[in-house]
Amino acid sequence: MADFNIVLFLTSCIILCYGDNLSTTTYAVTGKVQIDRKLLDGHEGWLKRAHIFVNGGSYIAVPDRDGTFKVTGLSSASYVIEVSHPTFVFQPVRVDINSKGKMRARKLNHLQPNQVEQVEYPLVLRAQGKAPYFHKRDEWRITDMLKNPMVLMMVLPMILIFIMPKMMNAADDETKKEMEASMNKFSTPGANNMPDLSQALTNLLGAGASESKHKKRRSQK
């Protein structure tokens, strides 16, 4: 009997000393789910299919008829709150609960987790749009055809064919002779007979400038 009293006394002392540490304090996260009327479009019963997931499903809550929800049984830690819905997409948030029960809500950013952008609390989770299950088919555009390398290889020579005769007509007799001589080199075999394209263009443009100068002198006379 004396041993039993000693054990009971020691158990009572342990409970009195460490009772506060043995009891865990839990908190609740509250908020509301909203959606713009423009996104409804025949989805009036969308709220029945919405669920609130905490940390990927560790805690699950169902919103009320007015869209409010409450997740209970949470200890002091950091939680990811997101809305699961088959039709609409919602922005997830992160809620931090400290040891004193103070809560801070911020947007969830996986790329820059250190960047803090706080949001209002109690939470207001709004729908961003409909879930994109299918990719939009690419539309055909005329610019896609023009950017095709094969089309460019066909169009550019045709443009040069129409432009070169006009440039030849605008040049004087000496320039024409030089151009004809350079073109004749293409017909003769041998790699050393290839004309210098930059020199030919320089002569052609220089001839056009000299012709304009001659016309100005003639008009002045």
Each residue's pLDDT tens digit, 121-156 = 999 999 988 888 888 787 878 787 777 888 778 887
Say whether 28 sits in a helix, a strand or coil: strand
Cα-based angle 29, 33, 36 (whole degrees, multiple of 5): 155
Mean pLDDT of the chain: 76
Q: Residue 28 pLDDT > 80, yes or no? A: yes
Higher per-residue pLDDT: 204 or 63? 63
Q: Per DSSP, which regions of 159-221 are E strands?
A: none
pLDDT band at 188 (very low <50, low <70, confident <90, very high): low
Provide the pairing of β-strand 68-74 with 78-84: unpaired
Spatial distance between the Cα atoms of 125 and 63, rounded to a whole number of angstroms: 11
**Domain residue spans in the chain?**
25-130, 142-220
Which of the given ranges, 83-97, 125-139, 206-220, has the highest pLDDT on average? 83-97
Least confident of 25-29, 47-51, 140-144, 173-177: 173-177
Whole-prediction pTM value? 0.53
What CATH number was assigned to the domain covering residues 25-130? 2.60.40.1120
Q: What is the pLDDT of residue 21?
A: 45
pLDDT band at 176 (very low <50, low <70, confident <90, very high): low
